[in-house]
Chain A
Amino acid sequence: MIIAAPVSLHVGTFTVNRLDSPLGSALRRVDWIAAAAVGLLALTGVGMAWLNARSYGQELLTPSSLLVRSLAWTLLAIAVYSVTTLVNWRWVRTFAWPLYAANILLLIITLIYGVDSGGNNRAIAIFGLAIQSSELSKILTLVAISTALTRAGRGSGGLQDLALAGAIVAPPFLLVVAQPDLGTSLALVAALFGALYLSGVATRWVAALASLVAAGGALAWVVVLADYQKERLLAFIDPNADPAGPKYQLLRSLEAIRGGGLFGAGADGTTILTPLPVQESDFVFAALVRAFGAVGGLFVILLLAILVGRLVWHSWTSPDEFGVIFAGGMATVILFQTLVNIGMNLGVAPITGITLPFVSYGGASAISLAFGLALVQSHRVHDGGSSPLM
């Protein structure tokens, strides 16, 4: 499935001519920096799962412990990542619309049969595993947007693109909001904006869309949101917030971070401390800082920064429009999640159920992100361009 054709890459002043074996050329084109960043983040995730499992006093080697499950999900994510990288991304683009339809269907099924899986995500229970469809919807929606905005024979009008993209995002957005999963729905919107912005839609249209979203948000605030949800969102800035309510998690998080110091309490030190609320997903960063100190926290921030940077770089250097939009959207999603999750831990963002990419425990999140990032890798490997399928 890999085209072995003579290729010339101009990167700066480099010209690399390769006529190697398919696999070899593929491996050379993979962005190893990004892959390494993902790998290290996944490793951190497993490490945190191990720590959390001990902190909760779980039996470490049973199938139900956080450690084993995290390991399983991570291995699966690595498999997905590898396979997707090797498969030509054009296959995915071909099936963009069926995938999108499946995405909507999955979201609808989740609404009907979903069960709460901690946090406020609704998940479908399949064979005792919680599958969070909202995580996958981010990627599949982004694929759909990218496909739509790069379809052959499209007009040049920004408004047309805008409307189309908006129409694509709207159904999954509404379905996710109905779960209710405020965080992921905003991630969808962020993906939309990222894709539009980098694809070159005129600023005025982007601004118009932004104000529309803001107005919708204000309306939702007044009409739709329940009091407890508003309380949750405002807890981080309200000085009079009830310390027993959502602020409790924030206070514990801050307390944990402060307790970390420069190098943290160490992996063993944290086992005697009381667990943080939701310390395996929402507050995994605070748990990490408590265990590994500021150094550990900055390391994770750095990894994520590298990952996002590489994605933007790929968007910038992408041979075709699809890559620009898709990579840009992925970068925005990861940036958004990082900002909100770590911000939540640090008390500068409202408390939502958003996970920290690869570090938080969560199978669907890891696999979906692995799929999305691998698509970008695949885009690099199977050189983008307007060449025909395969």
Chain B
Amino acid sequence: MTPPQIYPGGGGPSEREVRRRRPLRFFAAALVILLTFGGLGGRLMLIQFGATTSSGATTAVVRGHRIVEELITPARGLVLDRGGRVLAKNIAVYAVQIRPGDLSLAIRAQVVETLGEILNIDPVRIITLLDRSTGSLWEPIRIANNVSERAARLINEERASLPGVETVIEARRVYPYGTLISHIVGYVGRIDGVEASALAPAGYTVIDFIGRAGVEASYEEALRGTPGIRQVEVDAKGRLVRILGVTKPPVNGSSLTLTIDIEAQQRAATALEWGLKVAQNKEGVVASINPQNGEVIALASLPAYDNNDFSAGISNAKYQSYLANKYSPLLNHGIGSYFPPGSTYKLVTYSCALENRLVTPTTRIPSTAFLEVGGEKFYEWNRRGFGGSLTPAEAFMWSSNVITFRLAQLVQINRLSTCGRQWGFGAPTGIDLPGEISGLVPDQAWARATINRGLYDAEVMQSAQGQGYDLTSPIQVLNSFAALANSGTLWKPRVVLNITSPDGTITPTVPVANAQVGMRESTYQEMRRAARKVALSPIMSQGIWLMPLKVFGKSGTAQYGVRDKLGRLPYHNWMGGFVAPTEDSSKRDSTFAYVVFMHGSNTVGNAAKEVTKYYLQLQFKLKSDYRRPGLLTRGNFYGE
């Protein structure tokens, strides 16, 4: 066929041109077009109405189904003690939920009845849960958590007769050591609706858990990990049909290793429990720390709670019982409660006097039965005095109130409060647990702001002896003695030794020094010497002098509260200090500082000293028993 040609000038196509135009090629081109478009059209119809797609492995998505993205909850990191024992772990538990849209009202009663039997739940409760929910019909409603495997299996078997009922597997936290270390480890709880919206950007959903106390809370980010994302095919009602693949793999949480060895914790708890039992008390703290780096060795606070109660979903009754207990088992008294420090605060007063050169180690200060200030008589605790005059160290050993008052007059309140803050009081230690409080170091500015007047002389003297407005937590007292042991470094106490990421990388926590006390080395040495004298005194040490340990310390009795019928005030007992390798007070190499606090002990002897002896016995594996239980009988010993 000859293609039409246009030759305005006449003539026709040259031979070359005719030869070049090859009909075959155009025919081939037409064929290609036909095949291409026909093929595309055919393929379209095939996909539309056929059953398979390009690659065999992925079968077509059925009409009405959709592909959505879901979050994959990462596995929560473990908490281990220093010796590698597991303190917090995850187990798989079953939960039961109902999709109301799948459960028609006609058979609902029957289904709920059956379900109630299997789960041992009152069917009325189930109905209430169903009726109360305001979400969409296809949103599953949680009916029961921590369902036994047997029950879950039964439900699955009965699936045909239980439309709308589903079992899901989820992780639950378990704490093998429970009350022994519950304050440190803490617990996790579900996120409530209000928090969920605030936390959603971080990837939390309404069914997630979040740490609420202890290291579970303070290290939440490390323990949680990063959620992953997966694609799933869901049907028109939102039910999972199959899992297509993981878009982003979850990153499991990192595990924590504590500085605390559970056996050390047990020793502290045993000593404390014994002391509380014999003295018929309910509340106390035993804590110890390494003055060289701030690692917590043990931190026991009683009464305690079982954090397993929370991980299983605590019942209202149990929770109320915890709240009703006036000794606050949910509170870690070691860091979250404050009390007057009593004579343990004399560390501040005496070091302040020495540091400001108001006295020297050899100054002799008169020790009288009382001190008269402004017409008032302020009596020594033994109402007699200790005869003659004492050096500061001797006065410290005797815990003389009168000499303390004299020093307070020399030091005066502003210097005293400054020294108090230097030793770390009045501010949190920064321990890596939630709920720490600051305590109080009173001074004139505080007084004017808070009670609208300056402090009276008497109040200043009280502050010097750790009474009055002074308020400290046991960890602050502990840290002050640790700072004494290491010559002035206030470490930030740590309970976590290192963090292990899922791939095995271990990242140690770094010891951080909050501050330096900032006094002279000679002051520290003199105070250490004085603290050793306390422990060596046959009268004052209550038997500690007999122990084959180089104990340094200071005890305290702090009155508080309301006078009884006989006009006596109840009191706490304290003992704080450290154990060093040698007697040499010029050395700063102690690795063990301790504090014992007995709340409202009202015992004949200093209850904290007894508990200290027992604790040190256990900790240092002494063979003999140095305790004197008789001193723990109730009485009212007007203490130091």
Which residues of A come within 8 Å of B, CB atoms? Answer: 5, 7-11, 156, 197-200, 236-244, 247-248, 250-252, 254-255, 257-262, 274, 289, 293-294, 297-298, 301-302, 304-305, 308-309, 312, 315-317, 319, 321, 324, 328, 331, 335, 338-339, 342-343, 346-348, 383-385, 387
Contacts and interface: CB of A to CB of B under 8 A. Distances in A.
Given A239-B56, A385-B6, A385-B7, 13 more contacts: A237-B55, A243-B231, A244-B247, A254-B54, A297-B44, A302-B37, A312-B30, A319-B5, A321-B20, A342-B40, A343-B43, A346-B44, A384-B6
B33 to A, nearest CB: 5
Contacts of A241: 55
A383 B47 CA distance: 45
Contact of B61 (A9, A258, A324): A258
Nearest to A318: B3
A244 B248 CA distance: 8
Contact of B67 (A251, A304, A305, A343): A251
Q: How many residues of B sit at the interface, in one of the four size bands?
A: 35 or more
A297 B43 CA distance: 11
A363 to B, nearest CB: 26
Contacts of B26: 198, 312, 315-316
A207 B366 CA distance: 117
B36 A254 contact: no
Contacts of B22: 200
Interface string B40-69: 110111011100011111101111111100
Contacts of A257: 44, 47-48
B382 to A, nearest CB: 79
B48 A387 contact: no
B299 to A, nearest CB: 46
A335 B36 contact: yes
B125 interface: no
Q: Most chain-A Cβ atoms within 10 A of its Cβ — which of B3, B54, B246?
A: B54
Given A9-B6, A243-B58, A252-B67, A198 B40 contact: no
B6 A319 contact: yes
B520 interface: no
A1 B230 CA distance: 64
A112 to B, nearest CB: 35
Contacts of A384: 6
Given A254-B61, A255-B66, A294-B45, A338 B36 contact: yes
Contact of A238 (B4, B47, B55, B247): B55
Contacts of A260: 48
A102 B244 CA distance: 49
A198 B25 contact: yes
A305 B33 contact: yes
30 contacts: A7-B6, A7-B8, A200-B21, A200-B25, A239-B58, A241-B55, A243-B245, A243-B247, A248-B247, A251-B58, A251-B61, A254-B60, A258-B62, A259-B63, A261-B63, A262-B48, A293-B48, A298-B44, A301-B37, A301-B41, A305-B33, A316-B3, A316-B21, A321-B17, A331-B29, A335-B32, A343-B40, A346-B40, A346-B44, A385-B8
B16 interface: yes
Contact of B231 (A11, A244, A289, A319): A244
The A interface is mostly helix, strand or loop, or mixed, namely: helix
B40 A338 contact: yes
A22 to B, nearest CB: 15
Interface string B87-119: 000000000000000000000000000000000
Contacts of A348: 43, 54
Contacts of B44: 257, 289, 294, 297-298, 301, 342, 346
Contact of A312 (B7, B16, B33, B63): B33
Nearest to B57: A239
A244 B64 CA distance: 21
B561 interface: no
B231 A199 contact: no
B9 interface: yes
Contacts of B9: 387
A286 to B, nearest CB: 10
A308 to B, nearest CB: 5
Contacts of A342: 40, 44
Contacts of A321: 17, 20
A257 B45 CA distance: 10
Nearest to B19: A200
Contacts of B231: 243-244, 248
Nearest to A328: B29
Which one of B22, B61, B62 has the highest number of Cβ atoms from chain A below 10 Å of its Cβ? Answer: B61
Contacts of B5: 10, 319
Nearest to B64: A259
A241 B56 CA distance: 12
Nearest to B36: A339
B414 to A, nearest CB: 65
B581 to A, nearest CB: 60
A199 B246 CA distance: 52
A84 B8 CA distance: 23
B61 A255 contact: yes
Nearest to A235: B55
Contacts of B21: 200, 316, 324
A48 to B, nearest CB: 16
Given A197-B25, A238-B55, A317 B33 contact: no
Nearest to B16: A156
A17 B639 CA distance: 131
A240 B29 CA distance: 36
Contacts of A238: 55
A199 B20 contact: yes
Contacts of A312: 26, 29-30, 33
Given A251-B58, A294-B44, A243 B29 contact: no
A339 B60 CA distance: 22
Contacts of A339: 36, 40
B244 A243 contact: yes
Nearest to B27: A316
For the complex of A and B, list the 4 residue pairs with the smallest distance between their C-beta atoms, beginning with the closest: A244-B247, A239-B57, A347-B54, A200-B20
Given A244-B247, A294-B45, A237 B54 contact: yes
A33 to B, nearest CB: 15
Interface in B213-258: 229, 231, 244-248
Nearest to A294: B48
B54 A261 contact: no
Interface string B192-209: 000000000000000000
Contacts of A262: 48
B248 to A, nearest CB: 7
Contacts of A11: 4
Nearest to A253: B47
A317 B4 contact: yes
Contacts of B30: 309, 312
A335 to B, nearest CB: 6
The interface centre, meaning the residue of A251, A298, A309, A348 with most chain B CB atoms within 10 A of its CB, is: A251
A236 B54 contact: yes
A309 B4 CA distance: 18
B69 to A, nearest CB: 9
Contacts of B229: 244
Given A9-B4, A243-B244, A258 B40 contact: no
Max chain B CB contacts within 10 Å: which of A236, A289, A346?
A: A346
B589 to A, nearest CB: 58
Contacts of B6: 7-9, 319, 383-385
Interface string B169-202: 0000000000000000000000000000000000
A243 B68 CA distance: 12
Contacts of A293: 48
Nearest to A343: B40
B29 A261 contact: no
Contacts of A308: 33, 37
Interface string B244-282: 111110000000000000000000000000000000000
A258 B62 CA distance: 8
